[in-house]
Structure 1
């Protein structure tokens, strides 16, 4: 048996086989074993007994916009990874846009890694970008360790990261399929968006009408057809329209290599409750109606939706103007995803095992992070210790991300993150953060 330095004990340890009382042994930052609750503590090992608090595998968030360098006033690696750690997230993957430069070449990736390295409180990896001009760069980026490639089918909101038209999409997808890589897609059809009514002002109903479900449904349908033709692996980002679920379920059943995620805001917030002018609720695609949300939850329950990730997309406070047409679209939830989802999941009769499957195991599998996502021997000793029955009320001033704007302000949520552990080291406890020890991750070759 390897030399055990640490034993974590709880009456509720969430493992792939279910939740049970257990003692987790840790050696050299790796889980050595999951033993009975009353197992003897090896000589020289330190015991941490969490009582009845639940021990979950650290969350894996594969959809985070850190914006650093270049727009670090929006968010930075220091602040984003502190927010992650405080929320039980031990691994995140950074999106390739909103930073300057975007992660579209090997040199730009080098710049990004250089900035992130000294600031990362959690393990951090990077997606590459697929834009019209960089098909020639995709192979080198893939070999440099990006986890896959993100593209847009409609305007991204920043000029340095343009969308792909159908011909460019096919070219990029073919190249990425040839590499054995993953293409992750912001799937809204630009023609449906252009023909939708566009009205400025503070009415949420007007903004919702400007991003119709058909834009998502058509884009998803086209993606599936192309993935089928090219035998490519594609992932639909931040699904908001529940209408697309039957298309995705049918494609999966047929063997098309498609997966899909949704986000806490689509699963816990509804269009009916968004006040006019409250652009902290603006994101693209948008938060839709309660009946749409019910169908998304059914898609989680039956496995059509593979994972839940934050799509943490912050900006400076001044960009959240009261006009839904001009305000920056993005919701900041990196620190709150676990309690937000747990609050709604428990109300709908789901357990912590479900939350772990959606927010840890699922994203880890998507990105090929074989050392993350589960409490079992051989994985990294990454944990979130949660008091599931305790509640707290969200105070934006208590959040660690750079600009304290959040759609969850004033909401009372179940699930207090007591502490977060990265490779056997406590990196956050009761809102106090340790010095950064996160590593920069590369896709396994």
Structure 2
């Protein structure tokens, strides 16, 4: 009888077909057997009685700012935070590092740091910015997951928004390379004009901020990107979509057979504009948290499967850039720190709306794996897949505190929020990296993973 590395016994395992009470056997980082009772010997046995075993989540949208801005968030603290939330693979965005990941040398520099420091697996986005179209093919051949571009002003001189000609030229190249372009979709013309109008009037409140980034700015940018995708054949992934009208445009494009996916983030589902009014800059993001009525529409769209996946858009910064005492919201950094909480957020929403846990696993694991080329080994609990697992109990709640939040900076919209569940264990390719509230003290075991068939199509 084969000796196994790990056996997880008596768990309620979240399989693609539903929840099943079964055991999981792990050997050499892979799931080797799933059956009712595994009697083999193992180096580690985990009793998951009354616990749910989810596939480790794949978060396709995080911002770890290393190299160059590790004091914002780096691979070490960032990956610990992800492990503590049941995330076993994350995709790091290209924009906040110095240099930004817009050419091959920068990609390799970032990958080296991640390989040295990450507790769980990661993949890397490349960037599309004015002037780097010639670098896109080398980035694909080196293993980027896809490309990210901004249709609104970034506020980051290392990673500028694309103009229309750069966007069209880049989309043509990305389509030829068989990759996906992820877009932050807010109209720069609309948002910049409205911001200047507010500043001329000396208006800087929460209500002024949301009025400067209206739903129409998101709709216009998405609609324009869809037109450009029709022209170029470029697959699109719309990030952090925040409004029902925008989803309507995306749905119409999908119905025409266009190659488009869309994500939203837990903070748009759990919170709303009242939290920005109450908390100030801690709750500032772009697009902004919407009014409560719009929040409810997003939850309904989620239940109706109009969102393909969930991502955190973890976007941290040092305290001085998020200081809630600053009354001019336009000056504060716009981003939500919360990468640790995506799985627990979706379980909370599932419990409140009678959503099956296998649907949560689809949003957080299998759909990202399928979209970005990992479904052969990640995203679901199956024999032969990587042993990436998140173990959750519903018998304990989890209240967010500075002590149990692993991010480098603790200023978060989620601080004080209580989830009706708790992540009690995380396995990354069979390695126990998080247990009962603590990172397991061992060398980081994560590494740079590349999608299947990532080489450029000639």
TM-score tier (shorter): over 0.9
Q: State the secondary structure of the residue aligned to 2:198.
A: coil
Q: Does 1:144 align with 2:142?
A: yes
Which stretch shifts more, 391-400 or 92-101?
Answer: 391-400
Counterpart of 1:305 in structure 2 is: 307
Tell me the TM-score normalised to structure 1 length: 0.96
Write out aligned runs for 1:245-256 (5 A): 245-256=247-258
Q: State the secondary structure of the residue aligned to 1:275.
A: helix
Please state how far the C-alpha of 1:276 moved relative to its aligned partner: 4.5
Counterpart of 1:400 in structure 2 is: 406
Q: State the secondary structure of the residue aligned to 1:397.
A: coil
CA 1:190–1:2: 2 relative to 1, 3 Å: farther
Counterpart of 2:451 in structure 1 is: 443
Please state how far the C-alpha of 1:398 moved relative to its aligned partner: 2.3
Counterpart of 1:261 in structure 2 is: 263
Q: Take 2:28 and 2:119, find their aligned partners in 1: how far apart are those partners?
A: 18
Please state how far the C-alpha of 1:303 moved relative to its aligned partner: 2.3
Q: Does 1:35 align with 2:35?
A: yes
Q: Take 2:176 and 2:308, find their aligned partners in 1: how far apart are those partners?
A: 24
Q: Take 1:201 and 1:13, find their aligned partners in 2: how far apart are those partners?
A: 52
Which stretch shifts more, 3-12 or 364-373?
Answer: 3-12
Q: State the secondary structure of the residue aligned to 2:366.
A: helix
Q: Take 2:50 and 2:337, find their aligned partners in 1: how far apart are those partners?
A: 30
Instruction: Answer yes or no: is the 8 Å Cα contact 1:364–1:373 preserved in 2.
Output: yes
Instruction: Answer yes or no: is the 8 Å Cα contact 1:201–1:325 preserved in 2.
Output: no
Counterpart of 1:238 in structure 2 is: 240
The alignment of Structure 1 onto Structure 2 pairs a total of residues equal to 443
Which stretch shifts more, 43-52 or 118-127?
Answer: 43-52
Please state how far the C-alpha of 1:201 moved relative to its aligned partner: 6.0
Counterpart of 1:161 in structure 2 is: 159
Question: Among residues 397, 401, 406, which one is paired with 1:391 in the alignment?
Answer: 397
Structure 2 unaligned spans of 5+? 454-458
Instruction: Answer yes or no: is the 8 Å Cα contact 1:11–1:22 preserved in 2.
Output: yes
Counterpart of 2:321 in structure 1 is: 319
CA 1:399–1:202: 2 relative to 1, 3 Å: farther
Please state how far the C-alpha of 1:12 moved relative to its aligned partner: 1.1
Q: Take 1:157 and 1:383, find their aligned partners in 2: how far apart are those partners?
A: 37
Counterpart of 1:113 in structure 2 is: 111
Runs ≥4 residues deviating over 6 A: none
Instruction: Answer yes or no: is the 8 Å Cα contact 2:114–2:447 preserved in 1.
Output: no
Instruction: Answer yes or no: is the 8 Å Cα contact 1:203–1:276 preserved in 2.
Output: no
Q: State the secondary structure of the residue aligned to 2:298.
A: helix
Please state how far the C-alpha of 1:43 moved relative to its aligned partner: 4.3
Tell me the TM-score normalised to structure 2 length: 0.93
Q: Take 2:388 and 2:203, find their aligned partners in 1: how far apart are those partners?
A: 45
Q: Does 1:53 align with 2:51?
A: yes
Instruction: Answer yes or no: is the 8 Å Cα contact 1:396–1:406 preserved in 2.
Output: no
Counterpart of 1:20 in structure 2 is: 20
Cα RMSD (Å): 1.6
